[in-house]
Chains A and B, each alone.
Chain A
Amino acid sequence: MIWAGIIGALGIWAAGWFINTRLANGPQLQTRFVQILVPVIFGVTLILIWEWLVRMLGVSAVILPPPSAIAARLAQELPTVRFVSTLSVDFGGSKLWADFEQTVIKGATTGYIIGGIAAFGVAILADRSEFFTRGILPVGGFMAALPIVGTAPIFVKWLGSDWESKAAVVGVMVFFPILVNTVAGLRDTTVMQRDLMRTYGAGYWPTLFKLRLPAAMPFIFNGLKIATTLALIGAIVAEFFGSPTVGMGFRISTSVGQLALDMVWAEIVIAAIAGSSLYGLMAWIEGRVTFWHPSQRK
Chain B
Amino acid sequence: MKSLLPVLTVVGAILLLWVLAVVPMNMHLTADQAQRDGLVVSPETPAARQEYSGLGLTLRNPKLIAATFVQERPRLPSPHQVAVEMWNTIVLKNITSKRSLVYHGWVTLSATLLGFGIGTSLGILLAVGIVYNRAMDMSVMPWAIASQTIPILALAPMIIVMLGSIGIQGLFPKAIISAYLSFFPVVVGMVKGLRSPDGMQLDLLRTYHASPSQGFWKLRLPASVPYLFASLKIGISASLVGAIVAELPTGARAGFGARMLVGDQYGQPLVTWAALFAAAITAAALVGLFSLLERLTLRRMGMVQA
Contact surface of A with B, Cβ cutoff 8 Å: 17, 20-21, 23-25, 29, 35, 38-39, 41-43, 60, 62-64, 131-139, 142, 145-147, 149-151, 153-154, 156-158, 228-229, 232-233, 236-237, 240-241, 248-249, 252-253, 256, 259, 261, 264-265, 267-268, 271-272, 275-276, 278-280
Contacts and interface: CB of A to CB of B under 8 A. Distances in A.
A266 to B, nearest CB: 12
B9 interface: yes
Nearest to B245: A237
A142 B240 contact: no
Looking at A146, A149, A241, A261, the one whose CB has the most chain B CB atoms below 10 A away is A146
A236 B154 contact: yes
Contacts of B249: 240, 253, 256
Contacts, number: 169
B21 to A, nearest CB: 11
Interface stretch (B58-66, B116-124, B218-226, B258-266): B258-266
6 contacts: A20-B138, A35-B138, A145-B237, A147-B240, A147-B283, A237-B248
A-B pairs with the 10 shortest C-beta distances? A135-B6, A42-B139, A135-B10, A153-B264, A279-B149, A24-B135, A272-B150, A275-B150, A134-B6, A232-B151
Contact of B151 (A60, A134, A158, A271): A271
Contacts of A17: 135
Given A145-B233, A229-B150, A272-B150, A154 B139 contact: no
A264 B155 CA distance: 8
A153 B248 CA distance: 11
Contacts of A276: 146, 149-150
A156 B264 CA distance: 9
Looking at A21, A23, A38, A265, the one whose CB has the most chain B CB atoms below 10 A away is A38
Contact of B149 (A20, A23, A228, A248): A228
A147 B154 contact: no
B228 interface: no
A157 B269 contact: yes
B57 interface: no
A278 B284 CA distance: 29
Contacts of A21: 135
Contact of B260 (A25, A153, A229): A153
Interface string B254-297: 00110011011000010011011001100110010000000000
Given A157-B264, A240-B248, A25 B134 contact: yes
Given A139-B7, A153-B272, 7 more contacts: A24-B135, A64-B162, A131-B6, A149-B244, A157-B269, A229-B150, A248-B154
A158 B3 CA distance: 35
Contacts of B17: none
Contacts of B275: 150
B138 A132 contact: no
A146 B245 contact: no
Contacts of A248: 154
A135 B135 contact: no
Contacts of B10: 132, 135-136, 139
Nearest to A36: B142
A41 B237 contact: no
Interface in B1-23: 2-3, 5-11, 14
Interface in B87-142: 134-135, 137-142
Contact of B158 (A136, A236, A256): A256
Interface in B138-175: 138-143, 146, 148-151, 153-155, 157-158, 161-162, 165-166
B252 to A, nearest CB: 12
A79 to B, nearest CB: 21
Contact of A132 (B6, B153, B248): B6
A81 B5 CA distance: 60
Contacts of A275: 149-151
A154 B260 CA distance: 9
A39 B142 contact: yes
A236 to B, nearest CB: 5
Nearest to A150: B276
B269 A154 contact: yes
Given A147-B279, A153-B261, A271-B151, A256 B161 contact: yes
B49 interface: no
B241 A149 contact: yes
Contacts of B158: 252, 256, 261, 264-265, 268
A115 B75 CA distance: 22
Nearest to A38: B138
B219 to A, nearest CB: 24
A150 B245 CA distance: 8
Contacts of B161: 256, 259
A157 B77 CA distance: 13
Contact of A142 (B261, B269, B272, B284): B284
A146 B244 CA distance: 12
A240 B283 contact: no
B151 A229 contact: yes
Nearest to A283: B149
B153 A237 contact: yes
Contacts of A157: 75, 264, 269
A63 B162 contact: yes
A229 B261 CA distance: 24
Looking at A146, A150, A240, A259, the one whose CB has the most chain B CB atoms below 10 A away is A150
Contacts of B140: 39, 42
Contacts of B7: 134-135, 138-139
